Amino acid sequence: MDHVQIAEKVDEAAVFAWLKTYISNVLGMDQASIKGSDGLDSLGLDSALTTALAMDLETWLGVEIPLAILFEAETLDNIATGVAREAERQHATAG
């Protein structure tokens, strides 16, 4: 199994790396073939799988992610940006 890269600080790059690992594992895809410009739908994640991804992402980050970020974003890059921003915002308010 591929190794998961987790950065010290959860930034866009770390979220993107997590998304790539998770999606490649769930769909049995080559991790290198997943690009930031890919959308969840075009990769083959329907709403059921996207919701599962959201739940595991929330557990990993320890913060609640509004599903709209995942469902409304066009690309993985957009998702990584939105999720990292949300995580930072929630950590700031909590701290």
Contact pick of 58, 77, 86, 88 for another protein (by CB under 8 A): 58
Q: What is the largest CA-CA distance in the chain?
A: 38
In angstroms, the CA 43 to CA 29 distance is 9
Among the listed residues 68, 74, 43, the one whose alpha carbon sits nearest the alpha carbon of residue 54: 68
Check binding of 74 to another protein (CB under 8 A). Answer: no
Contact pick of 9, 13, 25, 31 for another protein (by CB under 8 A): 25
Residues that bind another protein (CB under 8 A): 1, 3-4, 6, 18, 21-22, 25-28, 44, 46-49, 51-56, 58-60, 62, 66-68, 71
